[in-house]
Structure 1
């Protein structure tokens, strides 16, 4: 096995079980590893640190996965890791919910692997060359452990390019999922599109937050921005919202939302679905003087890295400023960021700037986070990417 030695003083993060070793920390590579190979990582004094996946293309040169030198990274190791991850989520799956995240990358000691269950189908995202090398073995284990109808490869994230990997999107095993696959979450039925949908097909990371926010929407006029397949919209309708306006730039998302409204037998007269750029639509609402009781802002990732933080902060500020201006006095704003580079304190500061620009007083009445199937390893705080605030705008 190839051995990698770190520069003097660069072993601290690995000793604290942080899974990333950056290329600038490498002192010596003994051997000629291929991208995705498992290597042994040593401190400058040759103390063993961990096993990890090597990649010559990525700024993260080694992704650590095992700190016990007596372990062998073989098919049994992968099977044990996968079984542990799957077992820890079984309490989530029941008659009301048949979709969740089964494997969450570094949080489950499988850096670069995401597995989502959608009813009888599995969706995989592979984001590291190490997992890519054992993809066939991963599929075989999942097939045997879970007996799904099909396993679909949704490895179309641009993050793969940083690992020198091509985009992949297609069937890995079994049946192709139907164009619109029916799943349940908190008793609400959704049609999702794995092949063409965003991320791995559905945003199951907002499961708890959708349920929590719905409790505030009875009798309210709700605006759901970046609504996608309608998670917040449908939960609001189920809890008795007077009306819901859903805005998304994607035609597929708007069509899927309409199908989901019909699936759940909600009154279509309570729903207005608009295909539009959200910022443009918010300005149109402002110009027309339309106001809402509850507004949801759940935008895509504005800051994919820390280098984009300043630009993202401006975008978040302007979006939230517009949202605050469209609320009735005392209305509620549920605002989110899925950018890992934006921590919760930074997000609160951005909201404070937005409130100042909007001329509004704002109270934080609840803080949102990602659910149990998206755990955060204490040694890897970067895994805590989803944060949100429920604000009362006075």
Structure 2
């Protein structure tokens, strides 16, 4: 890369960077106009021109770049990427050796020292996720690292950036032998069909692994289960394999039905014995109330933000209302699994949403257990926003 560019930090943010905060936001620095080419190396300096940290310029929805090192003399080169990726892989040896799981995260962005990039593993296939043009400019170094230190069937990538912040959909294959999709991966002994060549989504969210396992092992047996915002039905699969009396999967996307049927089928489950409904979840709640339907286990895992023809949903504003809808169709002593991946608020605020919803419904509750990101989604205490996942198992008491 070319000459390193000095960027002065706004004085009120100096201490934040000195304490280890890795994300560079536009309002945290001066003279942003000098940054022209994404991927450029930035030296953050204080008001006295003293070095604070070194990072790269890359525009994504979270900010304009990431800190990579606090060592002024460290070069951001092949060796830098090799050391970071090797360290991440070493931390995950238990996953590589697991007999019943072969899909997990190998490298988790800023949690492993390089914000804006993640690497997932799917039974010998590596999937690189690039969140800015800046980090994408280092693709050759990353591929070279994987070539040197890992055996693989193939490498795929997702470029999750463009001028409008939308996914760039082009040929996701990078190198190796092209996969025959779907590939069937294992997660705690459960099967999931995965597509690495079919747009931004691959068919399963790896960060919910622990939640799916506890649903199967502890909460599903003989229960009538409702899985809302069901996507490809991964929670429904876990519930069915856990002995659920019946599962109902509801999602607005038309392709969710065929995808969910596929997931049931690769697990040897008769999908015709399950309900798979293509419908707006909020309309389904109204339908269920009209029909006086009740469920023993209701799973809520909405997107942080979603827009349909009828409504706009924001988890930061509308989760309490969503919970009230769920409470209304949950049996007494039933369980609501409330989940959010919204990084703009923490667990304390999320619990406040729960408390508000149950109080407004005049219903008592107990939080049975909570979950965050699984072990392979390594985070850093210096960036609490990176620990985005919040899941609560809530018992409806009355």
Do Structure 1 and Structure 2 share a fold, with TM-score over 0.5? yes
For residues 183-262 of structure 1, the aligned pairs below 5 Å read 183-196=185-198, 199-214=201-216, 215-262=218-265
Structure 2 equivalent of residue 348 of structure 1: 351
Structure 1 equivalent of residue 145 of structure 2: 141
Change (3 A) 1:239 1:163: closer
Distance 1:163 1:79 in 2: 29
Distance 1:95 1:368 in 2: 23
Deviations 1:190-223 (A, max 9, x none): 1122233654542010001111122111111111
Deviations 1:218-274 (A, max 9, x none): 111111112222221111112211111111223333212212222222244542211
Q: Give 1:174 deviation, angstroms.
A: 2.2
Q: Give 1:356 deviation, angstroms.
A: 2.8
Deviations 1:115-162 (A, max 9, x none): 1111121111101333111112212222332222221122236xx547
Match of 1:175 among 144, 154, 177: 177
For residues 50-89 of structure 1, the aligned pairs below 5 Å read 50-55=53-58, 60-89=63-92
Distance 2:188 2:125 in 1: 18
Match of 2:380 among 374, 377, 381: 377
Change (3 A) 1:46 1:303: farther
Deviations 1:289-321 (A, max 9, x none): 1111111111112399xxxx9953442122211
Structure 2 equivalent of residue 38 of structure 1: 41
Structure 1 equivalent of residue 134 of structure 2: 130
SS at match of 1:11: helix
Distance 1:274 1:352 in 2: 29
Whether 2:364 is the aligned partner of 1:361: answer: yes
Change (3 A) 1:191 1:31: closer
SS at match of 2:315: helix
Structure 2 equivalent of residue 315 of structure 1: 318
Q: Give 1:178 deviation, angstroms.
A: 2.8
* Preserved CA contact (<8 Å) 2:105 2:120: yes
Match of 1:8 among 11, 18, 21: 11
Q: Give 1:77 deviation, angstroms.
A: 0.7
**Higher alpha-carbon deviation: 136-145 or 112-121:** 136-145
Distance 2:60 2:231 in 1: 33
- TM-score normalised by the chain length of structure 1: 0.90
SS at match of 2:259: helix
Q: Give 1:15 deviation, angstroms.
A: 0.3
Distance 1:211 1:178 in 2: 27
Structure 1 equivalent of residue 276 of structure 2: 273
* Preserved CA contact (<8 Å) 2:226 2:298: yes
Whether 2:20 is the aligned partner of 1:17: answer: yes
Change (3 A) 1:340 1:200: farther
**Higher alpha-carbon deviation: 36-45 or 96-105:** 36-45
Output the aligned Cα RMSD. 2.6
Q: Give 1:187 deviation, angstroms.
A: 0.2
* Preserved CA contact (<8 Å) 2:227 2:299: yes
Match of 2:121 among 94, 107, 117: 117
* Preserved CA contact (<8 Å) 1:2 1:29: no
**Higher alpha-carbon deviation: 212-221 or 72-81:** 212-221
Change (3 A) 1:57 1:378: closer
- TM-score normalised by the chain length of structure 2: 0.90
Tell me how many residue pairs correspond in the alignment: 388
